[in-house]
């Protein structure tokens, strides 16, 4: 995500201009004398949807995955 920093006293940007930047995924930080005042971001998610099954076999589980833990684990020894 791109970030644009704008000083509130040095810009004549209208709300429409700021909303246009935000709509394309730009984060806008409003500052006053180099101190951040506000961050404007889109409420719509720009993340791509996740697709299940892209890497079959990438994760393997041991046969004893759901087996009981050893006694040393419970005693804090391992």
Residue-wise pLDDT for 4-18, tens only, equals 888 888 777 788 888
**pLDDT 10s digits, 30-42:** 999 999 999 999 8
Does residue 23 belong to any structural domain of this protein? yes
Does residue 69 belong to any structural domain of this protein? no
Q: Which domain holds residue 19?
A: 1-44
Q: What is the pLDDT of residue 29?
A: 93
Does residue 11 belong to any structural domain of this protein? yes
**pLDDT 10s digits, 19-76:** 899 989 899 999 999 999 999 998 887 677 888 888 898 988 899 999 999 999 999 8
Does residue 2 belong to any structural domain of this protein? yes
Domain with residue 27: its CATH number is 3.40.1620.10
Instruction: Give the pTM.
Output: 0.53
Does residue 77 belong to any structural domain of this protein? no
Residues 49-61: b if buried by 16+ CB within 10 A, e if exposed: eeeeeeeeeeeee
| Strands across the sheet containing 35-40 | 3-7, 27-32, 35-40
Does residue 50 belong to any structural domain of this protein? no
Q: What are the CA-CA distances from residue 60 to residues 30, 36, 38 (Å)?
A: 47, 46, 45
Q: Domain total for the chain?
A: 1
């Amino acid at each position: 995500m791109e970030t644009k920093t704008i000083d509130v006293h040095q810009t004549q940007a209208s709300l429409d201009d700021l909303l246009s930047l935000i709509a394309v995924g730009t984060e806008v930080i409003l500052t006053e004398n180099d101190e951040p005042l506000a961050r404007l971001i889109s409420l719509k998610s720009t993340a791509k949807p996740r697709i299940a099954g892209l890497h079959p076999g990438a994760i393997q589980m041991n046969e004893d995955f759901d087996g009981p833990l050893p006694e040393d684990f419970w005693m804090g020894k391992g």
